[in-house]
Structure 1
Amino acid sequence: ALNSRINAARRAVGDDGKRQHMIRTYPRRGFRFVAAVENGPPPGGAATGKEGRSAAAKPSLAVLPFANLSGDPDQDYFAEGISEDITAALSRMRWLFVISRNSSFLYRDRQSAFADIARDLGVRYVLDGSIRKAGRQVRISGQLIDAASHRQIWAERYDGQLDDIFSLQDEITSGISAALNSEITLAEIERVRKVHPSNFDAWDHCLQGAAEMHKLAPEAYERALSEFDKALQIDPEIVPAHVGLAWCHALAALHGWTRSGGKALELSVRHAHQAIGHDAGDPRAHVALALAHFWVGEQDEAVAAALPAIRLDPNMPEAHGVLGNALAVSGKARQADEPLQRALLGSPRDPMRWFWYHGKANAAFALADYTKAQEWARTTTAHRPGWAFGHLIGAASAALSGNPEAAQIELKRLLHLIPHYSLKRLSHHPIWTHQPDIERLIEGLRLAGLEEG
C-alpha cells in the first residue's frame, strides 16, 4: 500500500506521520518532501552514511567480507560465500536494515577502524569474521561490534569438516543469522535504556514495550501496553507494535490480568491480523498470528500460520518455537521436538527462550515422560518465574510420577501467581486441544490437591 511505503520512507529519514518534518501529507493531493537539502557532512557526526540513510530509524548492520586466514587464496571464494549468505539471511529480517553486499565488500582489504566503516556505511552494527582452513578442517569465527561504543556484543566460533562444503556453509549461515536475531534485539533494548523517553521514536517504544512484556508481571503488562500504544500513535503501521500487543493481550487473558479474558484474546487475534495487513512479507507478523491462534487453542491454525513465517525466514527461532509449541499440545508431541530444538539451538540468549522450554515440558508431558516434563518445567520457571503454566505442568507431572511433595510445592507456586485457579478453569484451558492430555492434566492436578472450583 502507498501509505506503508510513505511510512517506510519517513522512518528511513528519521521522520514520522505525526511530526512530518520531512515528508508532508497534503490531503486529497498527495505527499511532498519539504525538508531543506544541502551538501555537507552529517550534523554532529551522526552516523547517517554517505547516501543520507538514517541509522537511528531502525537497527542497521553491515556484514564485512570474512577474512581468509588459511594462506590459500583458493579459499577466498568460501570466505566470500559465507559473507554473502549471511547478508542474504539477515536481509530477510524486516526490522533490520542490512547494507548490500556490494557496499560492504568495498572493505575487503580494509584498513579502517570499525567506527569509521560504520560511519561511512551509515550503520550501527558491524559483523566481522574470519575463516581458517587446515586440511579438511575449517574454523569460522564471527563477532558483532556496536560501532558507536566499540563494544563486542557477540562472538562465536564454528568448527566443521569440508567434506560437504555447501552443507557446512548453510549450517554456519543459519547459526549466525539466528543468533544475531536475538543479540541485536538485546543490544537495542540496552541502547534504549540510555535514551531519554522524550527522544523515543516508534521503534524505541516497541523495544521498551518488549522489555516490559517479557517481565511477565501485571504492572509490567500495563507499561508494555502503554509503550506499544505510543509507538502506534507515532506510526500506526509499525509491525512490532501490533505483534507486541497481540502477545500482551493473550498473556493478560491467560494470567487473569484483565477482567475480560475473551475480549483480550479477540484483541490479540485482531492485532495479529493487522500486523499481516500492514506487511504480509514480514515473518514476525505471521508469528504473531500463529501465537494468537495458539493462545486461543486453535492449534491447526497456529501451525498453518507458522509455516509461512518459516518460508519467509527459515532461521527465525520464534517461528520454529511457536510451531513446536502448537504441535506439543495438539496430539502431535513427537513432531514438536525438532522445531523446538531448532529454536533453542538457534538463539541461545533469546528473551523468548522460556517459551521454547515450556514447549519441551508440554511435549514431554504429552508423551507421559513425567521426569523430563518436570525438568523442563523447572527450567522454564527458572528463566521466567512469573510463568504460572510452568508450575502447572510441574505440579501435574510430579503428582503423576508419585511425588506428592514436589507436586504440592509447584501447586502452591501456581496459586500464588493465579489465585483461585481450579480444575473447572483447567477444563476450559484455552491452549491444550488433545482431550486425553487434558484429562491427564486434570487427573494430575487433582492428585496434587487443586480444588474443583
Structure 2
Amino acid sequence: MGLEDLTGSPRWQRIARGISGEITRVLSTNPWLAVLRGGGPQEGGFALSGDLLADGGRVLISLCLTAEDTGEVVWSARRDFSDDDVFSMIDETAAETVAGLAQAWTGAHVRSLRLRAHRRLPGTLGGFEHWLLGVEAFLRFDLAGVRLALDHATKAVAADPEYTAAWSLVTTAHHALLCAEKTRDLRQPHRAALLQAARRCAALDPEDPIAMMQGALLAVLEGSPGAAMEILDRTVALQPNNPDVLARSLIWGGFCAPLGGRAKDLRDRLLSLVPGEVPFHRHALGFAAYHSSDYMQAFRILEPFPFPLGNALFMISAAVRTGEPGHLASALATFRAVAPPDLTVTELLEAHGTVDPLRAAILEDATVAGLLL
C-alpha cells in the first residue's frame, strides 16, 4: 500500500503515510489475506496504490488495485471528502479492496471473510496527527524521542479520549521512561502512569489487538506472565498477518519468558510480510534471534537499538553468549552511554516482568558482564 501526497506539504505527506498505514492495518485483520509492506512485486499478488491532494478543507484521494502479474486493474475509486471524514474513508476503502480481491480470486462477488478491525478509528484529524508525530518520535529510539512521543500521545488522547492507539503510545512511552530517567525518584511516577494508561487502553475495546497488547503488558507487570503469553497468542490468532502484532508478540513475549520454537515461527511469518527494514520490525527480529539461540545475530541486530533499555539487557546477554570480548566491550559501552548510573539489572527486569528461567539467565550474564545487579 502506497499513497503519494501531491500537496507537497510535510503535514500532508505525514498524513498520507498515516492513512496508508491505517488501511494496511485494517486489511491485515483478514486472516486469509497476507498484506506485505515493501519487498517488491509478489507473484500472484496485488498492489494498492494511489495519491492524495488536499485543498481548502477538502481531500481528494484516488486509489487503484492492480494485479501485479498482468497489470489488470481490479478496482479503482476516487474519494472527495472533508478532512473530518478521513477515517470513515479508511474503513470503506479497506472493505472495497477486500471485495475487489475476492472478486479477482473467485471470478464473482462473494461475501468476503473480512474480519472487521476491532478498534475504533481516531475521531479527529488533530488527534491522528499527534499520534503520527508521536510514533515518528518514538521510533528514533532515544530518550528525547520518547519524551516527545509522550507529549504528542498525551495531546492525542486529549483531542480524542477514546483513541486506543494513542493510549497505547502513552503506555509504551511511560514504560520506556520507567527505566530511563536519571534517578529513581523521577522513574517511579512513570509506573503509576503507565498502569493507568494501559488499563484505559485495554478497557476501550478488549478485542482490539492494540488494546490486547496493553492487556498483556498489564498481566506482565502484575506478575502473570503466563496470562500475558495467552493474550499474545490470542492476538496473533486474531491477526496472523499483521506485522505489528507479530513484532509486538516477539518483543513482549521475549521479555516474559523463553520463546523457544515460537520465536522462529513468529520470525518466519514476520519476514514473509515485511523485508525487516522497518526499525520496529527489525529490533523484534533481534528478540527472535536471541530466543532461537542465534546470539551473534541477536547482538548485531540489537546493538543499534539499546533504547528502550530493556533491549540493552538482551544485547549484553547476547554479547556474553557470543564469547567475543569485543562484542561485550561494545555492548557495555553502549549501555552505559544511555542508562542512568544507578539503574540496576534487577530494576530493569522487574520493569519488564521478566521471570525465571529467563530472569536467572540474564542475571547470570549480567554478572559476567560486571553490571550492577
TM-score (normalised: structure 2): 0.63
Task: Show the 5 A alignment for 1:4-403.
Answer: 59=19, 89-90=27-28, 124=61, 126-130=63-67, 132=69, 201-256=126-181, 259-294=185-220, 298-328=224-254, 329-348=256-275, 349-364=277-292, 369=293, 372-382=294-304, 384=305, 386-403=307-324
CA distance 1:431–1:359, change in 2 (3 Å)? same
* Equivalent residues of 2:52, 2:62 under 8 A apart: no
Which residue identity does 1:378 align to in structure 2?
R
CA distance 1:212–1:438, change in 2 (3 Å)? same
Higher gyration radius (CA): 1
* Equivalent residues of 2:30, 2:239 under 8 A apart: yes
* Match of residue 425 from structure 1: 346
State the 1:375 CA deviation: 1.7
CA distance 1:219–1:397, change in 2 (3 Å)? closer
State the 1:426 CA deviation: 5.8
Map Cα deviations across residues 66-93 of structure 1 (whole Å, 9 max, x no partner).
Answer: xxxxxxxxxxxxxxxxxxxx99835769
CA distance 1:143–1:210, change in 2 (3 Å)? farther
CA distance 1:377–1:233, change in 2 (3 Å)? same
Which residue identity does 1:288 align to in structure 2?
Q
Q: 1:441 aligns with which of 359, 362, 371?
A: 362
Aligned residue for 1:128, secondary structure, equals: strand
Which residue identity does 1:320 align to in structure 2?
L
* Equivalent residues of 1:381, 1:387 under 8 A apart: no
* Match of residue 38 from structure 2: none
State the 1:302 CA deviation: 2.2
The 2-side partners of 1:244 and 1:442 are apart by 29
* Equivalent residues of 2:150, 2:173 under 8 A apart: yes
The 2-side partners of 1:116 and 1:431 are apart by 41
State the 1:210 CA deviation: 1.0
* Equivalent residues of 1:299, 1:326 under 8 A apart: no
Aligned sequence identity (%): 17
State the 1:311 CA deviation: 4.3
CA distance 1:230–1:327, change in 2 (3 Å)? closer
* Larger RCO: 1 or 2 (CA < 8 Å, sep 6+): 2
CA distance 1:224–1:325, change in 2 (3 Å)? closer
State the 1:227 CA deviation: 1.0
CA distance 1:447–1:420, change in 2 (3 Å)? same
The 2-side partners of 1:412 and 1:207 are apart by 32
Which residue identity does 2:232 align to in structure 1?
A
Map Cα deviations across residues 318-376 of structure 1 (whole Å, 9 max, x no partner).
Answer: 22223333444413423222123323432334442144123224413xxxx3xx22322
Aligned residue for 2:357, secondary structure, equals: helix
State the 1:247 CA deviation: 0.7
TM-score (normalised: structure 1): 0.53
CA distance 1:114–1:233, change in 2 (3 Å)? closer
CA distance 1:126–1:333, change in 2 (3 Å)? same
* Equivalent residues of 1:357, 1:379 under 8 A apart: yes
CA distance 1:236–1:298, change in 2 (3 Å)? same
CA distance 1:391–1:273, change in 2 (3 Å)? closer
RMSD value, Cα: 4.6
* Match of residue 412 from structure 1: 333
Which residue identity does 2:272 align to in structure 1?
L
* Equivalent residues of 1:209, 1:228 under 8 A apart: yes
Aligned length: 297
Task: Give unpaired runs (5+ residues) of structure 2.
Answer: 1-14, 32-48, 81-101, 106-116, 118-123
